[in-house]
Amino acid sequence: MRIATGIQKLDEAMGGGLPERASILLVGVPGAGKTTFCNQFIYEGLKNGEGAIHITLNASPEEIINSMKSFGWDVNGKPLKFIDAYSWQMGVEEGKEVVNPANLTNFTIAVTKALTEMRNQNVKRVVMDSLSTMFLFVPKDLCLRFISMLSARLKGAGMTILIAVEEGMHTPDVVTALNSLTDGTINFIMENDIRLLKINRMRETRNLPITLKFKISESGIEVMP
Ligand SMILES: Nc1ncnc2c1ncn2[C@@H]1O[C@H](COP(=O)(O)OP(=O)(O)OP(=O)(O)O)[C@@H](O)[C@H]1O
Ligand SMILES: [Mg+2]
């Protein structure tokens, strides 16, 4: 079984989509398209009656919902669970369920709680946007250990997890560790006016490397001929 991203030509190139039970890094500079890819992936699942979990460190759930709406992805009433590690950075609001990104014990508890809450929702997709923000709050060894645990836990529960990472923000040892802890990497490249999506490593996937030219239109990421 493969997990369709909702980007048709990418799914065709990967034999139906991403591998099941996999953790995948999305690497690119700011504006390269990582967040759009995450949200499109989530919506593809919701559209097909799956539940999904969004771990956010860069934007509030409200901002994400609005941004998705602007692409025509209406999540209203759909089983989308947020783990909000962003709002804490803004100052905790009364009555809001927020996670302190510096407190990995609480973070782990929030993940466990989300999994329990969503256990009957057929969840196959989780995104974390972005892991780089966690590195601002937590020493790198702890961050890497957390990702290793999180990815094992979610894969064990049958999920495919996308982890967005800012290119250029991490030292080479961290990049190497992240690659060794995950099952694949999708690179988002911007060269002059051209956007490219490049896959060099992906578990259980033939025909690598895959390089596709894409644009971000009003309906999201679209691969160009
Ligand atoms: N609602 C929208 N409609 C059309 N294009 C959009 C929309 N939102 C974002 N974009 C385009 O998508 C591009 C990529 O944005 P995205 O947020 O996915 O990048 P990112 O890799 O997550 O960046 P960052 O590292 O800053 O979070 C933006 O530069 C913008 O051109
Ligand atoms: Mg982003």
pLDDT digits (tens, 9 = 90+) for 199-213: 999 999 999 999 999
Q: Please tell me the pTM assigned to this model.
A: 0.96
Backbone angles phi, psi at 115, to 5 degrees: -65, -40
Backbone angles phi, psi at 64, to 5 degrees: -65, -45
Q: Is the CB of 218 under 6 A from ligand 1?
A: yes
Backbone angles phi, psi at 197, to 5 degrees: -120, 125
CA distance 222 to 203: 23
Confidence (pLDDT) at 142: 96
Domain ranges of the chain: 2-11+20-72+79-190
Q: Is the CB of 44 under 6 A from ligand 1?
A: no
Q: Best mutation site among 35, 39, 166 for ligand 1, i.e. most ligand atoms within 8 A of its Cβ? A: 35
Q: Is the CB of 166 under 6 A from ligand 1?
A: yes
Q: Among 27, 59, 42, which Cα is nearest to 189's? A: 27
Upstream peptide bond of 130 is cis (omega within 30 degrees of 0): yes
Ranges of residues in the chain with a pLDDT under 50 are none
Half-sphere exposure of 116 (CA within 13 A, CB side): 6
Indicate the DSSP class of residue 32.
S
Instruction: Please say whether the beta carbons of 13 and 212 come within 8 A.
Output: yes
Confidence (pLDDT) at 90: 86
CATH class held by domain 2-11+20-72+79-190: alpha beta
Q: Best mutation site among 216, 217, 221, 222 for ligand 1, i.e. most ligand atoms within 8 A of its Cβ? A: 216
Looking at the chain, list the stretches that DSSP marks H as alpha helix, in order from N- to C-terminal side. 8-13, 34-47, 61-70, 104-117, 131-134, 140-156, 172-181
Backbone angles phi, psi at 187, to 5 degrees: -95, 135
